[in-house]
Amino acid sequence: MRADRLVATLLLMQARGRVTAAEVADELEVSVATARRDLEALSTAGIPVYPQPGRGGGWSLVGGARTDLTGLTAPEAQALFLLLGSSSDRSAEATSALRKLVRALPATFRAEAEAAGRAVLVDPVGWGSSARARQPWVAELQGAVVRRRQVTLVYRGRAGESERTVDPWALVDKGEHWYLVAGTPAGRRTFRLDRIISLAVLDAAAVRPDDLDVAGIWESVVDEVEERRSRVTATVLTTPFHVRVLRGQFGRHVTVLGADADGRVRLEVGSHTARSVAEHLAGFGAAVEVLEPASVRAELAVLGAELVGLYGGVGGPR
């Protein structure tokens, strides 16, 4: 894409001070003629780029001029436009940042960058769902993370309510919920924002590890949670069509074991309790047969009896 090449060419000139068309061509893996046209396009667009003829010449930025895009690679700039320009619930701050970034681009490829921002639309609301409510405390905690300030929060956990002072490290938006990853005297902890009852940002500086790997930490958090959620597994038989549907129900807790002689597929599915496994499977009726364990089969029998008791009368309840 030409816009990517122009950004990359401009960044290359800033890094080296002076370049030749041959150097640009070699760096960006294009022809010398293409590199020369790109350099001329930058100059025509009003960027202070000019050629120096003769031995030792090349192309330079007048007075070492620089652009607000310094530090961004072309793929990073493209990704930024796709990310900020696509979200249907983008914040006012993100919108402002996107506009400033667009204005910093040369006129010759500003239109392409703006088009990238309109190329993808993200609708976070599932079919049949209402609009997603804005999570509480997001703005306050974003500020605390950026400014490295401790926070005191009253949190409703499994053991009841408690007050804690923590060092906020990062915020994670996963599914329907936001989470705070924070340092505490007992080590790293994760807090769900909708369980925070009250919060105060303090003046005290927060301690954050220099080698903080938020993605790695969150991956371990997800693994721990998912392991707890799949403590009970069941072996089932179902049709090939329903394999896809069950994947939607159980997510990562579905393993295909193979095909049976009757054409059905043998799967292993899991959840945190036998009752939970049964509740996920009950709506499939006879389309899914549970082979084991007995605890899940028993829970399905209980659910079936409850439904028969409630709806088993002729014509059902009036």
Nearest to 249 by CA among 266, 230, 263, 264: 230
Distances (CA, A) of 310 to 30, 159, 230, 286, 296: 72, 36, 30, 19, 21
DSSP state of 2: H
Q: In CATH terms, are 138-227 and 230-311 the same topology?
A: no
C-alpha span between 318 and 315 (Å, rounded): 8
C-alpha span between 18 and 20 (Å, rounded): 7
Instruction: Enumerate residues 6+ apart whose C-beta is below 8 A from 259.
Output: 265, 266
pLDDT confidence of residue 1: 47
Backbone φ, ψ for residue 96 (5° rounding) = -65, -45
Is residue 110 very low, low, confident or very high in pLDDT (cuts 50, 70, 90)? Answer: low
C-alpha span between 250 and 269 (Å, rounded): 7
C-alpha span between 91 and 205 (Å, rounded): 27
Q: Which of 24-28, 64-68, 133-137, 181-185 has the highest mean pLDDT?
A: 181-185
Contact 271, 234 (CB under 8 A): no
Q: pLDDT tens-digit profile of 43-62?
A: 776 667 778 776 667 888 76
Q: Which of 133-137, 152-156, 202-206 has the lowest mean pLDDT?
A: 133-137
Alpha helices in the chain (DSSP H): 2-16, 21-28, 32-44, 74-84, 92-104, 107-117, 138-147, 214-229, 240-250, 274-282, 294-311
pLDDT confidence of residue 45: 65
Cα dihedral sign for 126, 130, 131, 136? negative
Is residue 70 very low, low, confident or very high in pLDDT (cuts 50, 70, 90)? Answer: very low
Report the share of the chain in percent with pLDDT over 90.
Answer: 31
CATH 1.10.10.10 applies to domain 1-123: yes
CATH class of 230-311: alpha beta
Domain residue limits, the chain:
1-123, 138-227, 230-311
pTM of the complete model: 0.51
Angle, vertex CA 223, rays to CA 271 and CA 297, nearest 5: 10
DSSP one-letter string for 155-220: EEETTEEEEEEEEEEEEEEETTEEEEEEEETTEEEEEEGGGEEEEEEEEEEPP--TT--HHHHHHH
Mapped onto helix, strand or coil, the DSSP state of residue 294 is: helix
pLDDT confidence of residue 125: 63
Nearest to 195 by CA among 146, 135, 151: 135
C-alpha span between 191 and 37 (Å, rounded): 54
C-alpha span between 207 and 217 (Å, rounded): 16
Instruction: Enumerate residues 6+ apart whose C-beta is below 8 A from 31.
Output: 25
Contact 232, 270 (CB under 8 A): yes
* CB count in 10 Å sphere of residue 47: 21
CATH topology of domain 138-227: SH3 type barrels. (2.30.30)
Q: pLDDT tens-digit profile of 205-240?
A: 999 888 888 888 888 887 777 777 668 899 999 999
